[in-house]
Amino acid sequence: MRGNSVLVSLLVVLVGCAPVATGTPTPAPAEVGMTPEVLGLLIEEHVGAPAAVTGGSGRLTLVPPTEWVEGISATAYYRARPGQPGLSITLSYSPTPYAGSFGCTASTCEQRGGVLLRHDPEGLVSPRERGFVEVTTSAEGLPPDLLDAAIALAGDPRIAPAVEPDLASAAAANPRWRTDDLGCGAAAIAGPIALPAPGSGPLEPVTPQALAAVVASHVGGSCAGDASSPGAVRAIVYLGADTDRLSLAITEDALACDQLDHCEHRGDVTLGRSEGDPPDRPFRLLLSRPAPDGTHWVTLEHATHDAERSRIPLPTLIALVTDPRVGAEVDAALNHAGDDLPLRWRYTPHTVE
């Protein structure tokens, strides 16, 4: 029995001395550098998903027009909604140390939520320990309903020289990130398209997308875009090139015949013509009629640099400008049809006058 006890004791000692396997600690994932794609994703988190987002690196203006630093930026494009114009939001970041005032004085900047609200030019600036963050929009001023989200975006602590890998991976997989020029590209002419029958639901303010859909239901187009301005909701449908396009608008002003080479009236429709001077100025044929509300005007413009070979007959243009679906307010189904328009949507302005 004594021998057995010694053996057991020896086994216990040996087991106790055996090395214990330990798991190798998993190193924390290394951070990666900030990218324009991450900036774009942060815009989405604070403001909402846009229709498209793009960005890159370049010069960021600190004090227009001469003070700038190198940095990165992302711009998110939001389509118009009924009663709300389209908007783009740009988020910029530079890690370059900067000790200036960003052009701020007591009368041009104020503190809001820990960031600088700058009034000239309009935007938000968030000075950082390394560099700065800036938020600007395409609007003349920051829309009041966007201000809180924009302040939170400018102050987001994740905007830094390095970010978590998971955030960078999610940004790199963003399906709304675009690497093209956001123009028409090589889009071919398609259509005309069919529009849904007018519904019986409530009316709502017309959007540029709805106006583009109406144009595309009369003629074929390659792409479309929003060309609205204060006092006018306007869509452009491109007919295969910048030099040949149709725009349909709801405006507050009647056609200014005194600024055109020729004007005539055909019932409720006013026809105007500007002969142009190619290649600098296109030939322009304008048609206008009073909108159903009695305070706005429906205006159609065909601009082309080759009036001799225009493929849009005048009866088609008259049918388009007098389309009963068009007004300052339209059936909601028409706005929805515009959102689903099977034409490429262009976010850059046309490059040829």
Per-residue pLDDT for the chain (353 aa), expressed as one digit of tens each? Answer: 444 444 334 333 434 444 544 555 555 567 899 999 999 999 999 999 999 999 999 888 776 666 788 899 999 999 999 999 999 999 999 998 877 778 788 888 999 888 999 987 789 999 988 889 999 999 888 888 999 999 999 999 999 999 999 999 999 999 999 999 999 988 999 889 999 877 777 899 999 999 999 999 999 999 999 999 999 999 999 998 888 899 999 999 999 988 888 999 999 999 998 887 655 678 889 999 999 999 999 999 999 887 666 678 999 999 999 999 999 999 999 999 999 999 999 998 766 55
Query: What amino acid is encoded at 173 in this protein?
Result: A
In contact, 246 and 312? CB cutoff 8 Å: yes
Q: What's the CA gap between 285 and 288, in Å, rounded?
A: 10
pTM over 0.75: yes
Q: Which helix (H) or strand (E) holds 250?
A: strand 244-251
In contact, 167 and 45? CB cutoff 8 Å: no
Based on the number of CB atoms within 10 Å of its own CB, is 179 exposed (0-12), middle (13-18) or buried (19 or more)? exposed
Contacts of 41 (CB under 8 A, 6+ apart): 167, 170, 171, 174
Residue 70 CB-half CA count within 13 A: 1
User: CA of 113: how far to CAs of 110, 148, 149, 247, 319, in Å?
Assistant: 10, 9, 11, 42, 53
Based on the number of CB atoms within 10 Å of its own CB, is 263 exposed (0-12), middle (13-18) or buried (19 or more)? middle
